[in-house]
Structure 1
């Protein structure tokens, strides 16, 4: 490093211009009188004494009398520790500035646009770690492996996790053991797709595929906006694709991702003759509080009849009515308002026609 650059760097580290030039001059001189330091550094002679004493207070040098005031540089170890400490603080400050720019706090009802995928996946990991009910994830195999510890922990605490893995042309179908202990069900989409992570129907983390023309990410902490990503996940990333892993296997109980999936199966059963018992975890629409109810299906209400097999023709109000110990309880899907319960996890626990 040139002398001028070293002086500028020392100034950036906190020394005054006179302190920096005097110290660099003394490093070159080793031991010198105050007059010689002033001459070598260009510090005005009347100022050199104050400058040297201030450097001594900082423990950069020491002064002594030998006919006149003389100075010598200390062993640089202390100076190096000081400079490295300053450098560490500057580096930490730089990282904090970057984090605050890339990862704005998501207040309730908030949404943010970010520019780097790292921000998107780190926030997705946080959403997964905080989830209590449901996680829906669209990702590559590599990013799934990165998120696997958080997904495994979520599964262990009872969160319902479903994963849609997308692969490029020529990539093989993911092996089932990739999903062991990290999700309830996985599907494979053999086409590129965006990264999408949804947690508890409130938080969303989205990023375009790396080859997309648009390169930005979206972070959401809001039920209404997350609902849009939810339907995109169901219709484009989940429903059309083949199941490659199912932790539940055959038989009961059967857990449904959406009330529309449940209704699709119920419409094929003679539930009026062979009673279907359903457990619903969700929220009381009157109070917003979490609740769990279990009862027998007594009615299925859909906006119109259809022979379509996907179940997504039921885009309007879809309601399942239950008899819960003699009390009528109506159950709707995401965003239910007129029903008694918004179902977030629907599980058939007894159904002769599904056994």
Structure 2
């Protein structure tokens, strides 16, 4: 490290330029008279006496004023470092107490002008997903984000992926294992639409991602009031017209999830296998404004369009029916209004495991 670098580091401990010059002059001599230090540091002898007292209080030097002339001695660097380290450790608890952690937040609305930034944002959003992802993506870009998609699925996140464009029609099915909960393909060049956990979204014209000379912009948004509209558009307009290409295997039971569409998908897959499923649903009776209730029973019906064959009566319907033994209740997800219950958490078990 050169002298400039050392000076910069010492300044971080609150030493002024003159104080640093004086201290370095003392270090160079080890021990010296004030007049010699003043000459080396190009400061007055009075200043040396004054600053030496402050440096002594900080633990940098020792001042022997019992001798004539007064001698100023540099303390061993190891002792100085120990003193500085102790000071830092002393203030750490107070700093921690005052520190307020703030996560970096995505702006409610953000215009993104470059393709690399859009691709990076896709990765960031997928990495943040905890429950649910819906995405339309040009098939030509899938290879770039496959690792992140697989990590997202491995965390138990529901991932509904629609690959668009001419490249999607003959996409190798063997390359889709583990990249999504379900994959559909559509020959049209659909825009990129990505939603995460019903609260984060990203929209980009297809040409922005597939053409190098595109002047289009993308929009990122973080609004729980608007993102579900995108999810509804995905499930209502794009997903039904696309061809089902891949469906992941059912997840192991018992399964606890707060994402209702994930619960519906698992019920549908299990029912297709002929399994008898018991659900414990914690949620709000739709007829009440507040309050929570828990129901438990066998799942005797499911209405969904997430996987083929579709059993719902309208595109965004995802629900199942629970027979408690005394009564049957229909269960829907967040915002349910035609069902009996709005589910907040669902536990799924095999019928024999629940006995």
Pick the TM interval, shorter chain: 0.5 to 0.7
C-alpha separation between the residues in 2 aligned to 1:136 and 1:166? 11
Q: Which moved more, 1:207-216 or 1:11-20?
A: 207-216
Task: Identify the residue that residue 104 of structure 2 maps to in structure 1.
Answer: 102
Secondary structure at 2:230 match in 1: helix
8 Å Cα contact 1:62-1:72 kept in structure 2: yes
Q: Give the drift of 1:227.
A: 1.7
TM-score by length of 1: 0.55
Structure 2 unmatched runs, 5+: 210-214, 251-259, 266-275, 304-308, 351-355
Aligned-partner Cα distance in 2 for 1:100–1:135: 25
- CA deviation string 1:208-242 (max 9, x = no partner): 4575743563334x4x4342131133246633333
Distance between the aligned counterparts of 1:208 and 1:68, measured in 2?
A: 78
Q: Which of 217, 220, 241 is the matching residue for 2:220?
A: 217
What's the counterpart of residue 51 of structure 1? 51
* Partner deviation per Cα, 1:123-150 (whole Å, 9 max, x = no partner): 643442xx4xx55455644334125334
Q: What pairs up with 1:108-257 in 2 under 5 angstroms?
A: 112-113=108-109, 121-122=123-124, 124-128=126-130, 131=131, 134-136=132-134, 140-154=142-156, 161-164=158-161, 166=163, 173=171, 175-176=173-174, 178-180=176-178, 183-188=180-185, 193-194=191-192, 196-199=194-197, 203-209=198-204, 211=209, 213-214=216-217, 217-220=220-223, 222=224, 224-235=225-236, 238-248=239-249
Query: In the aligned structure 2, how far is the partner of 1:151 from the partner of 1:327?
Result: 35
DSSP-derived class of the 2:241 partner? coil
Write the distance in 2 (CA, Å) between the matches of 1:324 and 1:188: 39
- Whether the aligned pair in 1 keeps the contact of 2:201 and 2:227 (CA below 8 Å) is no
- Secondary structure, counterpart of 2:171 in structure 1: coil
Aligned length: 287
Match of 2:340 in 1: 340
The CA deviation at 1:310 is: 9.3
Q: CA separation in 1, counterparts of 2:264 and 2:314?
A: 7
- What's the counterpart of residue 272 of structure 2? none
CA shift for structure 1 position 177: 5.1
What's 1:21 paired with? Answer: 21
Counterpart CA distance in 2 for 1:237 and 1:77 is: 68
Displacement after TM superposition at 1:246 (Å): 1.5
Supply the distance in 1 between the matched residues of 2:37 and 2:301 (Cα, whole angstroms): 94
What's the offset of the Cα at 1:164? 0.9
Distance of 1:317 and 1:170 partners within structure 2:
30
How far apart, CA to CA, are the structure 1 residues paired with 2:162 and 2:64? 73
Q: Deviations over 1:160-208 (max 9, x none)?
A: x23316478869836535433x643223467575462433xxx433234
Give the Cα–Cα distance (whole angstroms) in 1 for the partners of residues 261 and 162 of structure 2: 17
2:335 counterpart SS class: coil
What is the aligned-residue RMSD (CA, Å)? 5.4
Are the equivalent residues in 2 in contact too, given 1:3–1:24 (CA < 8 A)? no
**Distance in structure 1 (CA, Å) of the matches to 2:317 and 2:8:** 69
1:187 is paired with a residue whose SS is strand
Question: Hey, what's the Cα distance between the residues in 2 that align with 1:162 and 1:26?
Answer: 66
Q: Partners in 2 of 1:216 and 1:236 — Cα distance?
A: 20
**Residues 53/204 of structure 1: CA separation in 2 closer, same or farther (3 Å cut):** same
1:102 match: secondary structure: coil
* SS of residue paired to 2:147: helix
Structure 1, unmatched stretches of 5+, are: 105-110, 250-255, 262-276, 301-308, 350-355
Corresponding residue number in structure 2 for 1:353: none
CA distance in 2, matches of 1:54, 1:33: 17
